[in-house]
Amino acid sequence: MKIFISAGEPSGDLHGSNLAKALLVHNPAIELFGFGGSKMQEANCKLIYPLADFAVMGLYQSLKAYPQFKKILQLAIDHFVRCKPDVLVLIDYPGFHWHLAAAAKKLGIPVIYFVPPQIWAWASWRVKKMRRLTDLVLCNFPFEETWFKQNNVPAKLIGHPFYDQILNQKLDEEFIAGEKSKPGLPIGLLPGSRNQEVAMNFETLFRAATLLNKQHPETRFLVAAFSEAHKTTILDKIKNTNLPIEVHTQKTPEIMNMAYACASVSGSVSLELLGAQTPSVIIFQTSPLMSIAARVLKHTPYITLVNLLAGKELFPERFGYYCSSKWVFNQLSEWVKHPEKHNALVQELGALKASTISAGASKKGAIEIINFIENKKAQAASAA
């Protein structure tokens, strides 16, 4: 049994690694290949290309990277022809993955989406592509499964693989104890995992932190940098500040769990913040062109997964070119000034967490993928 897994960003690399582990638990003889990152490689998935390290976002950056994407696609096609995997498994990252799926289908390789893109929220017309290019969508949320089935796309609910990460997380208690022993009210700043996210959003978070500390001198700030490169970039931006601020790598879960509140770039990280029951402000600053396009293509009242699950705005959110640092400051300041509002939100997050978060998505996904391959082989054998 041969499976090709493709993940184009760091979160996808994490989900791909957990899926790879689950597949090998069920069948150690499975051969795993794919695009991804170091986590997938550590999980015994042979990388054809480190696509997760090449994560790009936005129209301009995608067009700029087109020649490289074309080369990466050809690497996949060459592998498909040479090794003929039993299935291609995609993890989010729809722009490139539509082309990868089309190439696989052309060669008779079935396609399964594990962690599908949120096309029910953005540019829903893309469901036609999903219907044409995939054989099965493994859904993360109940409303997602319903939506895909209503649009005649084969879909099964398995839950979100981030829930596995949340429930099985082992925190660095020594780090948490050390930070808690320091004076001040800790506020987490989460600037994202991609270079462009940090470039577009960190200064807004930093200015908001400066405003908050001016009004509430008891606050101090912990930045969760995704990589050492991001840490270097951020330290350079804050080198002349007197703000009580620290920058850490590999401590994102710890910062989320110990912070009084967080200000974060939008993404599936909001599910981790839900797991930590940490009141958070969510932003996603983009270029003016992307802001206009997003408003036209958006089909849901919220962009944050936690708000979509709750059916209301638990995490204040702001999307677009004008993500004001003053607005972020105002949201955080409300929780600092009014602990009762903060505590009430913690209770609401706890109730939502209890009703929505359950483990097992990677295991369920692995079982669905293996069953799909076995059924395909049984059908081919009976037809012969």
Query: Any idea how long the chain is?
Result: 384
In DSSP terms, 6 is beta-bridged to 35, 90
State the fold for domain 2-159+360-383: Rossmann fold (3.40.50)
Q: Is residue 242 predicted with pLDDT exceeding 80?
A: yes
The confidence score (pLDDT) of residue 210 equals 98
Residue pLDDT, tens place only, 250-293: 999 999 999 999 999 998 899 999 999 999 999 987 666 655 55
Residue pLDDT, tens place only, 197-226: 899 899 999 999 999 999 999 999 999 999
Q: In which element (H, E) is residue 224 found? A: strand 219-225
Q: Is residue 58 predicted with pLDDT exceeding 60?
A: no
Question: Between 356 and 337, whose confidence is greater?
Answer: 337
Residue 56: pLDDT band by 50, 70, 90 thresholds? low
Number of Cβ within a 10 Å radius of residue 131: 14
* Sequence ranges of the domains in the chain: 2-159+360-383, 167-356
The confidence score (pLDDT) of residue 309 equals 92
Q: Which is nearest to 256 in space by CA: 175, 337, 199, 317?
A: 175
Domains 2-159+360-383 and 167-356 agree in fold? yes
Q: What is the CATH number of domain 167-356?
A: 3.40.50.2000
Q: Is residue 18 predicted with pLDDT exceeding 90?
A: yes
pTM, two decimals, is 0.81
Residue 294: pLDDT band by 50, 70, 90 thresholds? low
Residue pLDDT, tens place only, 125-178: 899 999 999 999 999 999 899 999 999 999 999 999 989 888 888 999 999 999
Distance CA 275, CA 178 (A): 22
In this structure, are residues 253 and 169 in contact, taking their beta carbons and an 8 Å threshold? yes
Q: Which is nearest to 262 in space by CA: 298, 221, 216?
A: 221
The confidence score (pLDDT) of residue 62 equals 60
Q: Is residue 296 predicted with pLDDT exceeding 90?
A: no
123: left (phi over 0), alpha (psi -120 to 50) or beta: left
Q: State mean pLDDT over 187-196.
A: 92
